[in-house]
Amino acid sequence: MAKNIQDHPVLAQSSPRQALLEDYLRVRRFSEQLCVPLVTEDYVIQSMPDVSPTRWHLAHTSWFFETFVLSSYMPDYTSPHPQYAYLFNSYYNSVGERHCRPKRGLISRPTVQETYAYRRYVDECVSNFLSTCTDEALTKAAPVVTLGIHHEQQHQELMVTDIKHVLSCNPLHPVYQEQALSSTTPPSALSWISYPEQLAWIGYEGDGFFYDNEGPYHREFVDAYQLGSRLITNGEYLQFIEDGGYQNPLLWLSSGWNTVQSEQWQAPLYWEKHEGQWMMMTLSGLRPVEPTEPVCHVSYYEADAYARWADARLTTEAEWELAARQVPTEGNFVENQQFHPVPLKKTVDPIKPEQMYGDVWEWTQSAYLPYRGYHPAPGALGEYNGKFMCNQFVLRGGSCATSVTHIRPTYRNFFPPDARWQFMGIRLAREV
């Protein structure tokens, strides 16, 4: 894979119209670059209901632009494939019937080639529209184009995690990208960084893009707390395993313990024991578990149980957000093309938390609920976030599969407590 695929050229003189077009093209191109290592067969498979075939992601993101931009704002646009709407609508009840999610892997046509042709067609139409539409039309359409760009970035992350899951189902352990393991030294011991009590403003405020669930900007009272200086490592998590963590019901939420038993969990997803040695499936193939890396592919249940075992707890959303605002949005993102969390290098005792961004999403103990005063956007795009505010927990900070241009201190990701196939890890907190 070519490096620097999402670098930001200095575009001082570019107009907003041109900047939007360039953003659009850059992000669309990146989806396809992520697919360079794939063979045609890889694109087709849905390895579990949560996973979508790569081809579906490529088509669905195009359908999104077609439906919400081209059909909505481009006069006389007609789709070359109106029947795709049924196949590639994900969950928008307002725009019509759709193909059943768990059956996305039963569809062999349109082929991968036809899907790329569909992308090209949509890209040409969108480019054309953005280049030639009136300023008035642009004003209306631009927010939706921007949403579509961020939507596509979300699907890029899913493409990475879904293809990892697909490849992991194959006993031959196929490799997505060869990657040498850099030799690593243990990170410094976990320390605690303190924050005072405060009546804080939480949520997005500003002029940039944000999802509706990041607002409204509102006040919350936050007690004094301490945050773990870095992510929990595989080595630390191994101690939990070896201490019988997966055998002790008293460490677990009740539904977590039921899941451990019914799913027979013994370790994070993708870990397998081979002749007494813990191995893990990565996008670079099967490898020994590296103790210095951040632990990854743990559910909320496991993160919560680990925290209890460690005599700590997970952070709340607000605690995390207050701390994150004070550090730059830097880290191991998808642009690094590691597709895997990396060990922390620094060793001196930090005064600000490390690894807040990138590497792994950090489970918080906050349920995914509307902020006070939240109202979803009107129309179909109002189905984007709000209707999922039930039985999910918030994760923060992005991962090695997230784009650096996609993450913010206020960004709220969310998954059910038993989900593990995303790059999900653990940061601890505790009372003062």
* Residue 317 interacting with a copy of itself (CB under 8 A): no
Question: Is 366 a binder of a copy of itself (CB under 8 A)?
Answer: yes
CA-to-CA distance for 394 and 270, rounded, in angstroms?
22
Indicate the residue among 61 and 316 with the shorter CB distance to a copy of itself: 316
Give the Cβ contact number of residue 136 at 10 Å. 8
Task: Please tell me whether residue 162 binds a copy of itself under the rule CB under 8 A.
Answer: no
Q: What is the 3-state secondary structure (H, E, C) of 258-316?
A: HHHHHHCCCCCCCEEEECCEEEEEECCEEEECCCCCECCCCCHHHHHHHHHHCCCEEEC
CB of 356 vs a copy of itself, minimal distance in Å: 21
* 203 near a copy of itself, judged by CB under 8 A: no
Which positions from 256 through 315 interact with a copy of itself, judged by CB under 8 A? 256-257, 300-301
CB 100 within 8 A of CB 72: no
DSSP state of 70: I
Choices 12-20, 23-31, 213-221, 320-328; region in contact with a copy of itself by CB under 8 A: 213-221
CB of 429 to a copy of itself, least distance (A): 11
Indicate whether 254 belongs to the interface with a copy of itself (CB under 8 A). Answer: yes
The DSSP element (H or E) to which 167 belongs, if any, is helix 135-168
Ordered alpha helix ranges (H), 196-253: 234-242
Closest distance to a copy of itself from the beta carbon of 101 (Å):
10
Closer to a copy of itself at the Cβ: 50 or 290? Answer: 50
Contact by Cβ (8 Å): 256, 304: yes
Least spacing, CB of residue 387 vs a copy of itself, in Å: 4
The string over 179-201, giving b where at least 16 C-beta atoms fall within 10 Å of a residue's C-beta and e elsewhere, is beeeeeeebeebeebebeeeebe
87 binds a copy of itself (CB under 8 A): yes
388 near a copy of itself, rule: CB under 8 A? yes
Nearer to a copy of itself, 190 or 389 (CB): 389
Q: Does 110 bind a copy of itself (CB under 8 A)?
A: yes
Widest distance between CA atoms in the chain? 66
Q: Which is nearer to a copy of itself, 104 or 427 (CB)?
A: 104
Nearest to 201 by CA among 95, 325, 72: 325
Radius of gyration of the chain (CA): 22
Verify binding: residue 221, a copy of itself, rule CB under 8 A: yes
| Contact residue for a copy of itself among 42, 321, 335, 359 (CB under 8 A) | 42
The one among 212, 220, 317, 354 contacting a copy of itself by CB under 8 A: 220
**DSSP strand pairing (331-332 vs 357-358):** parallel
Alpha carbon distance 161, 126 (integer Å): 28
**Closer CB to a copy of itself, 278 or 388, in the complex:** 388
Q: Closer to a copy of itself by CB, 230 or 412: give it.
A: 412
Rule CB under 8 A: is residue 365 a binding residue for a copy of itself? yes
Judge contact between 360 and 230, C-beta under 8 A: no
Determine the Cα–Cα distance for residues 167 and 339; give it in Å rounded to an integer.
Answer: 14
- Residue 228: closest CA among 196, 195, 194, 192: 192
18, 82, 86, 102: residue in contact with a copy of itself (rule CB under 8 A): 86
* Distance, CA of 216 to chain centre: 22
> Which residues contribute to the site for a copy of itself (CB under 8 A)?
39-45, 47, 55, 83, 86-87, 91, 93-94, 99, 103, 105-112, 166-167, 169-172, 174, 199, 218-221, 223, 249-250, 252-257, 300-301, 316, 365-367, 369-370, 372-373, 383, 387-391, 417, 431
